[in-house]
Amino acid sequence: MALLSVLTPVLAAILCLVVGFLFMKSRETSSTSKTKVVASKVESRPWVDQDLQDDTEITAREGEDADWVDSHEEEDLAHVPYSPSRYPEETMLKRAQDFYTLLNQRRSVRFISPEQVPREVIDNVIRTAGTAPSGAHTEPWTFVVVSDPEMKHQIRMIVEEEEEMNYRQRMGDKWVHDLAKLRTNWIKEYLDVAPYLILIFKQTYGILPNSKKKTHYYNEISVSISCGILLAALQNVGLVTVTTTPLNCGPKLRLLLKRPINEKLLMLLPVGYPASDATVPDLKRKHLDDIIVHI
């Protein structure tokens, strides 16, 4: 009995240690499994560029209200008559067919000629891209046109370094396998060769001359529409490009090109004439019946 009374505090201490140990262990396991869930979410969507969030919700941040422009501060807008061309039905059909034929010839071309392209043509296709609709007419795009060979080379260095990591580590077997038929890899010769690189930045918010911030609603969708129009405009003048979205290169390219913090790289288009020996994968497009639903 005496022995038991001596041992009781010791047993109690051992029991506390065991319970404490089990408690710590269970916390460890739950935090590891949480990390695993997050990691598996990230792993399952490796094409999501972590730098490319839309950021429209940025206005919701507390304590920053004074930094943002009040919509009442913007002026009233006049509404003016609008009457664009109207065509007879036959003409409409012909124009629809011709435009389809033109755009159906568009291909992503990864072999671009170094031949020079008139600068005015580039200015005009970008002017055309700038006609895109945008959320609340915020026009949240910046087109950076690079023709300087040294700058193009620096861009190539950044893209190739990141793309090698993308292909070797980040993209995973499935993605790399899906791309194999296109014969793409991290070597991007066209970044040196093409006479122009157009880097399209989305402005996640606007910065007004008085330094106040302005919400850019749906900025990513708006800029993507603008890029689509740019691709059509390039096709219209007989130039080629390949749509590229260099994963995780945005921050470095933004700094290299001295773009402000509110801009994020959305797309990089090398632009020029096709190389005389250019080839493209023999891809087929879906038939109309497979992409249309009439209700």
Ligand X SMILES: Cc1cc2nc3c(=O)[nH]c(=O)nc-3n(C[C@H](O)[C@H](O)[C@H](O)COP(=O)(O)O)c2cc1C
Binding string, residues 143-182; x marks residues near ligand X by CB under 6 A: ---------------------------------------x
Tell me the closest approach of the beta carbon of residue 268 to ligand X, in angstroms: 8
User: Rg for the chain (alpha carbons), in Å?
Assistant: 28
| Residue 177 Cβ vs ligand X, minimum distance, rounded to whole Å | 14
Could you say whether residue 108 binds ligand X (CB under 6 A)?
Answer: yes
Q: How many residues bind ligand X (CB under 6 A)?
A: 11
2 binds ligand X per the rule CB under 6 A:
no
Element (H, E) at 286: none
* CB closer to ligand X, 125 vs 267: 267
Burial of 145 (0-12, 13-18, 19+ CB in 10 A): middle
State the minimum distance, in angstroms, from the CB of residue 133 to ligand X. Answer: 19
Amino acid at 285: R
Residue from 243, 251, 255, 260 binding ligand X (CB under 6 A): 243
Single-letter amino acid, residue 281: P
**Cα distance between residue 135 and residue 220, in whole Å:** 10
107: contact with ligand X by CB under 6 A: yes
Nearer to ligand X, 144 or 227 (CB): 227
DSSP H stretches of helix in the chain: 2-44, 89-104, 119-129, 149-165, 172-180, 190-193, 219-236, 250-256, 288-291
283 binds ligand X (CB under 6 A): yes
**Can residue 248 be called a binding residue for ligand X (CB under 6 A)?**
no
Residue 244 makes contact with ligand X by CB under 6 A: yes
Using CA atoms, how far apart are residues 38 and 21, in angstroms rounded to an integer? 26
Q: How far apart are CA 152 and CA 147, in angstroms?
A: 7
Q: Which stretch binds ligand X (CB under 6 A): 5-13, 69-77, 102-110, 201-209?
A: 102-110
C-alpha span between 261 and 153 (Å, rounded): 23
Residue 277 tokens, joined: 């020996």
Binding site for ligand X (CB under 6 A): 107-108, 110, 182, 184, 242-245, 280, 283
